[in-house]
Amino acid sequence: MNNSVEIESIIEQSIILAKERNHEYCTVEHLLLALVKHVPFKKCLEQFGADVDNLSKELGNYLDCLKSIEVSIDQGQEVMPKKTNSLERVINRSVTQVLFTGRKNVTTIDLYLSIMSENNSHAHYFLLKYGVTKNEFVPHWQKTYKGSEYSGNLTDSQANEILEEHTVNLTKLAQEGKLEPLIGRSTELDDIINVSKKI
């Protein structure tokens, strides 16, 4: 999978937003604010009819109310905010979405969809509050971009590249005798064999 300069820039901006506020952690809300401020996505939101200025302002106010820490400086280097588990989950989910739809790059819509899956987050709440719902916004985004970023099939070789990059071929390792022996799992192994025979 190729690294998307656009997405890397948005994630980097979210870390800067956390750093500016002396936050120990970079959250999904930092990411959403960076996404909303990202010009192409911002324009798409505006065309959709969302009140982007108030959304940004309210997100900023929410982040300003979060507890700041005294950022320590160790040998002239500032401590960078750490990503929360929920932020890591959002990023990983967006990558997974790309793999399952047969594409090679994460796009802004992948980040949006992943944020919308964080149901218990303030980011999800703010998007719903401003009417940016999946059922209405995704078709608008696809129409705006004519689906160019979001669709497209991979060739077999491209699919194999992605599989090789993100998975381990256990069958190949077993054929080459490179798998470590299975110790203490004979019952589980028997169950797997019995299930396989029934299929």
Residue 188 phi/psi, 5-degree rounding, is -65, -40
From residue 23, alpha-carbon distances to 38, 72, 118, 158 in Å are: 21, 12, 21, 40
For the domain bounded by 5-144, which CATH number is listed? 1.10.1780.10
Domain ranges of the chain: 5-144
**Over the stretch 19-57, which tens digit does the pLDDT of each residue have?**
999 999 999 999 999 999 999 999 999 999 999 999 999
Whole-structure pTM value? 0.71
Residue 162 pLDDT > 60: no
**Over the stretch 76-92, which tens digit does the pLDDT of each residue have?**
556 789 999 999 999 99
Which of 33, 162, 52 lies closest to 106 in space, CA to CA? 162
Per-residue confidence (pLDDT) for residue 99, from 0 to 100: 85
Cα–Cα distance for residue pair 44/41, rounded to 1 Å: 5
Per-residue confidence (pLDDT) for residue 19, from 0 to 100: 93
Please name the residues in contact with 122: beta carbons below 8 A apart, sequence gap of 6 or more: 28, 29, 62
Place 146 in a pLDDT band, splitting at 50, 70 and 90: low
Cα–Cα distance for residue pair 65/61, rounded to 1 Å: 6
